[in-house]
């Protein structure tokens, strides 16, 4: 199973840059997009609904803001919109497709870089989402054995290896001690898997670059886009690629291949 995730920073802009032509060549089973920044009326054109996929969008109530999407070759058994948060479901940050006992989620955590107010919103999201993460782990240990892959922009670099200028960013949103400790708990006691780092421990592996200066050209970036799996999928990742040959947004696509039977939630 191949899963692609990308923060498109505006799906209409990414489309003009050739995103959908590129996607048609990737043999992806599931595509997760974040920050689509479009309402239903903006994406009615066929170009936003590729024929090879079943396409689902979860826009924010606020126009031109946030929003996620999920495309899948196989029609999902069920689509879940939001995770039960009055505040954050209105921002279009969670979209889940269920294929048998396997769930793929397109997720977009808030950024706290614009203001202290948004940083506090980010902390509220993290606190609220803890309950959903605990439920996901419990589901994997339950009778149906549901497993999850959560794909998207988490807006947190976990470790020093995950951003170029880590020393200068220790007090900045995205690399704050509280944020990193939250991921420590996710990948530690909760047992979730950072599937990219499971198979790639190299330096310089980033998925987002500032548009300021020469960050892209000099690879001064952050790894803030993940495909995070529940404990039962540990060892299922086989290949990981950050695509940089063409730029569709300020993020790069993350492509992951898993040894999974589509719709089974179990390793093949």
The 193-194 sheet, strands edge to edge: 78-81, 94-99, 102-108, 147-153, 225-229, 193-194
Active site residue 162: no
Compute the distance between CA of residue 74 and CA of residue 265 in angstroms, rounded to an integer: 14
Task: Indicate the DSSP class of residue 206.
Answer: -
Q: Which of 147, 128, 108, 136 is nearest to 233 (CA)?
A: 147
Q: Give the residue from 241, 140, 262, 247 showing the smallest Cα distance to 191.
A: 140
Residue with tokens 């179990």: 266
Which is the catalytic residue, given 153, 162, 194, 225? 153
Q: Which residues contact 191 (CB under 8 A, 6 or more apart)?
A: 137, 230, 231, 234
Inter-CA distances, 62 with 19, 185, 242, 254, Å: 24, 32, 31, 27
Q: Give 251's Cβ-side CA count (13 Å radius).
A: 27
Cα dihedral across residues 137, 161, 196, 21: positive or negative: positive
Are the beta carbons of 240 and 202 closer than 8 angstroms?
no
Estimate the share of the chain in helix, then strand, then coil, as percent rounded to the nearest 5.
25, 25, 45
Strand bridging mode 147-153 / 102-108: parallel
Catalytic residues: 153
């Amino acid at each position: 199973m191949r899963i692609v995730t990308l923060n498109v920073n505006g799906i209409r802009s990414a489309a003009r840059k050739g995103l959908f032509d590129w996607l048609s060549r990737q043999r992806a089973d599931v595509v997760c997009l974040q920050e689509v920044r479009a309402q239903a009326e903006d994406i009615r054109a066929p170009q936003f609904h590729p024929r090879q996929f079943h396409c689902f969008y979860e826009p924010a109530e606020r126009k031109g803001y946030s929003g996620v999407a999920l495309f899948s070759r196989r029609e999902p058994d069920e689509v879940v919109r939001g995770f039960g948060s009055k505040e954050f479901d209105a921002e279009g940050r969670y979209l889940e497709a269920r294929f048998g006992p396997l769930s793929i989620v397109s997720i977009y955590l808030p950024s706290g870089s614009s203001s202290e107010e948004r940083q506090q919103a980010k902390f509220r999201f993290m606190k609220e989402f803890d309950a959903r993460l605990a439920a996901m782990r419990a589901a994997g240990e339950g009778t149906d054995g549901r497993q999850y892959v959560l794909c998207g922009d988490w807006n947190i670099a976990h470790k020093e290896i995950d951003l170029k200028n880590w020393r200068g960013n220790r007090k900045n949103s995205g690399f704050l001690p509280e944020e990193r400790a939250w991921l420590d708990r996710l990948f530690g006691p909760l047992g979730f898997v950072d599937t990219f780092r499971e198979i790639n421990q190299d330096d310089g592996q980033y998925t987002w670059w500032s548009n300021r200066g020469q960050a892209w050209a000099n690879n001064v970036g952050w790894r803030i886009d993940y495909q995070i799996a529940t404990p039962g999928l540990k060892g299922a990742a086989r290949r990981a690629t950050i695509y940089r040959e063409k730029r569709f947004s300020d993020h790069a696509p993350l492509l992951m291949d898993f040894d999974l039977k589509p719709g089974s939630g179990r390793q093949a």
